[in-house]
Structure 1
């Protein structure tokens, strides 16, 4: 929060106040490390704890980050690749895994159909995201506990990750003046598409995997540009507005 506040204030031109909040972030980070990760291992061994520490860059050095990455992958594997996060951890879980080059792990979680998972809700007839992973029990009865809303967005926050990593659309400048196009196929998906309506117009991607080839269609609105990175390559190509196709 303090980092975001610092960035907002900096964008508004108050560099002195922005520096104040950036300093606060550094102080809070040191306090977190001292209280919760003195030896590089978090006090709570949960998906949420490790996902948040990685996503928000709270650990001290690369050694600790690598240890945390290995631990998060291990926690997920031992949980049979089922989701183990709640309202706080779910929005950052996919980003944390992609940040440690484990997008494949999150794809595996995303496509699970057992409870708790996103597709469990679909299998059980859900048409909107539920408040709890098991608002409806496997036998078709309503969970007798509290928090059983069948239209509650919190776990739907995964859509942000899906948009950026499956659809491959992410902003590089405020308002999507410059946009990154970098879809990462995975799981058993052979096709995906995504659309974002920016202030400049519609940004869209559509990709397919067929016969070992990845084919991508991109549409970029006027007065913007995109930096396109194809899966399995390290090269980025900058394109302007219009329609573009790529195959790799």
Structure 2
């Protein structure tokens, strides 16, 4: 009876061990692929190279690097092309600037002023001097002395084609009126006038017509009259 129980207990123990073994074997079969999948899905420190997912991302970035590198190159190329396009219109393009052709026509401006015709024609008079009167050969048609003039002296002389004249006299008129009389006479012949240097208390004017010049200075005498002095050069030909 005792032996039979031991045999039954041994059989039960064997069945139990076999059942446990089967259960562990099933657990091992189920957990094996899961663990392998987990191992294959999780990055391994030893697989952080070009073949891993992280490395694949890096590889993708590496693939983008040439594109990124090509972008500056393309930009540089575009910039070069842009500079090449601008080279024709700007000095930085490396091309020569457009140079205008030389001007062959002579520039025209204002014409040179024409010298006025001489006021004196014919032969020049002989040199001479006269006191108290107008000397022979005096150009009375050009140089008219003020009315009421008391002539002190007059003279004429020549130098080439130039007639030089001089005169002095006293007029019982103010200085400005004496100068105004000479101005009216000379301006009528084409002279223009300008103020000339004069001594203190005196007045002077210079009259010009081409190469002809006449200078008149007027001072006041002790009696209140005006004394004038005249020097002039008149040409017989244009110069």
Instruction: Compute the TM-score of the two structures, normalised by the length of structure 2.
Output: 0.20
Instruction: Compute the TM-score of the two structures, normalised by the length of structure 1.
Output: 0.20
Structure possessing the higher radius of gyration over alpha carbons: 2
Q: Which has the higher contact order (CA 8 A, sep 6+)?
A: 2
